[in-house]
Amino acid sequence: MSIAAAAALRALSCYDDRGSLKGALTLTDIAAFIEGLPKVELHLHIEGTLEPEMLLALEARHGMSLPYASVEAARAAYRFTQLQDFLDLYYQGTSVLRTEQDFYDLAWAYLSRAHAQNVIHTEIFFDPQAHTARGVPFATVIAGIRRALDEAAARHGLTSRLILCFLRHLDETDAQRTLDMALPYRSWIAGVGLDSSEAGHPPSKFARVFARARSHGLRAVAHVGEEGPAPYIWEALDLLKVERIDHGNRAIDDPSLVDRLHGARMPLTMCPLSNLKLCVIKDLRDHPLRRLLQQGLAVTVNSDDPAYFGGYMTENFTAVQSALGLTAAELIQLTRNAIDGSFAGESERAAMTARLAAFARTIY
Ligand code: HPA
Ligand code: ZN
């Protein structure tokens, strides 16, 4: 770690236990610390990394015409008051992804940015139904993403896992058909997840397809408690038998649920800038991340759909540290939680833990 990052970590230790600042701390110090922190991302939709520049480039590649005259016009349209506003634009954006090369380019752009931000391991969601419904073969989607993942491992040592998400606004039969398409690629897929419009689409709708996925050795995660209520989190645990909760903000409403999550050491993959952009919270200072962390929950920080929400991992850590006054120890704990909650193998997790410990040792 650089001398600047070491100084920053000492400076961050100037917060007392309640997050109040005891000593002077410059923005440069914090930036150096967050930059140096080895990061692990567990909640990232690859389709949500489609930056306006690439959207327009792919539109031109395929001779299409989308409603945006410029990169600025596309970015200006990214204003949301709820999850559905975002999803409408997100699915419209996927229409430019057609060939294996498109999926490779998308994934490679994300992986390059992640590496530049010192992300050492990433677990990536993809939404096959958003593509197969347009006639793009499952094989095209997964082959392009997979080629980029292999290249990132070879060139940067950046490890990854791939998680297939079922779109919860579609029916169970569609999800079962998607699982059929995925099974020939079983060795490339670590798990299944559940995303898209949460309200009115409880986890119970997908209990059977998740059971079938688990019977093939796939791990299970689900988006719950983002806009949906705490009972959806109970369903994800009891009916889908998930190993991680994606978002989980609403757990804060139910003390017995907090106890259950605590007892199970259940990771919560929280996404601060996403929550702000989608009006899940009014202000980052209201975010439940620190309160849940202080209650002993295995909270993590992630970027969700960074092209739409204004930031990748570094920007999320920076924003949430500043809003909640997170200490150095808490920032390190967030990364430790992500390593422990990842689907990486034991030796990969041990290597990541050693890397985090080496970062911390240069300070304490
Ligand atoms: N929430 C639910 N579904 C999603 C999201 C999200 O933030 N991003 C992509 N699909
Ligand atoms: Zn998400």
* Residue-averaged pLDDT of the chain: 94
Q: How confident is the model at residue 364 (pLDDT cuts 50, 70, 90)?
A: low
- Residue 148 is predicted with a pLDDT of 99
Residue from 35, 123, 198, 226 carrying the catalytic annotation: 226
Asked, for residue 17, whether it belongs to a domain, the answer is no
CATH number, domain of 164, equals 3.20.20.140
Asked, for residue 188, whether it belongs to a domain, the answer is yes
- What number is the average pLDDT over the span 41-62? 98
User: Residue 9 pLDDT more than 60?
Assistant: no
Mutate to test the pocket of ligand 1, among 195, 198, 276, 279 (most ligand atoms within 8 A of CB): 195
Asked, for residue 270, whether it belongs to a domain, the answer is yes
- Residue 11 is predicted with a pLDDT of 55
Nearest CA to ligand 1 atom 2: 196
- State pLDDT tens for residues 270-290: 999 999 999 999 999 999 999
Asked, for residue 20, whether it belongs to a domain, the answer is no
- Residue 231 is predicted with a pLDDT of 98
What pTM did the predictor assign?
0.94
3-state secondary structure the chain: CCHHHHHHHHHHCCECCCCCECCCCCHHHHHHHHHHCCEEEEEEEHHHHCCHHHHHHHHHHCCCCCCCCCHHHHHHCCCCCCHHHHHHHHHHHHCCCCCHHHHHHHHHHHHHHHHHCCEEEEEEEECCHHHHCCCCCHHHHHHHHHHHHHHHHHHHCCEEEEEEEEECCCCHHHHHHHHHHHHHHHHHCCEEEEECCCCCCCHHHHHHHHHHHHHCCCEEEEEECCCCCHHHHHHHHHCCCCCEEEECHHHHHCHHHHHHHHHCCCEEEECHHHHHHCCCCCCHHHCCHHHHHHCCCEEEECCECHHHHCCCHHHHHHHHHHHHCCCHHHHHHHHHHHHHHCCCCHHHHHHHHHHHHHHHHCCC
Total domains in the fold of the chain: 1
Q: How confident is the model at residue 19 (pLDDT cuts 50, 70, 90)?
A: very low
Asked, for residue 306, whether it belongs to a domain, the answer is yes
Asked, for residue 326, whether it belongs to a domain, the answer is yes
Task: Give the structural domain span for 232.
Answer: 3-7+30-363
- What number is the average pLDDT over the span 31-52? 97
Asked, for residue 24, whether it belongs to a domain, the answer is no
- What number is the average pLDDT over the span 6-34? 61
- What number is the average pLDDT over the span 228-254? 98
Asked, for residue 19, whether it belongs to a domain, the answer is no
User: Residue 227 pLDDT more than 80?
Assistant: yes
Percent of the chain topping pLDDT 70: 92
Nearest CA to ligand 1 atom 10: 196
- What number is the average pLDDT over the span 306-319? 98
Judge whether 243 counts as a catalytic residue. Answer: no
User: Residue 10 pLDDT more than 60?
Assistant: no
- State pLDDT tens for residues 173-204: 999 999 999 999 999 999 999 999 999 999 99
- State pLDDT tens for residues 123-153: 999 999 999 999 999 999 999 999 999 999 9
- What number is the average pLDDT over the span 17-37? 69
- Residue 20 is predicted with a pLDDT of 44
- Residue 54 is predicted with a pLDDT of 98
Query: Does residue 246 line the site of ligand 1, with CB under 6 A?
Result: no
Query: Does residue 305 line the site of ligand 1, with CB under 6 A?
Result: yes
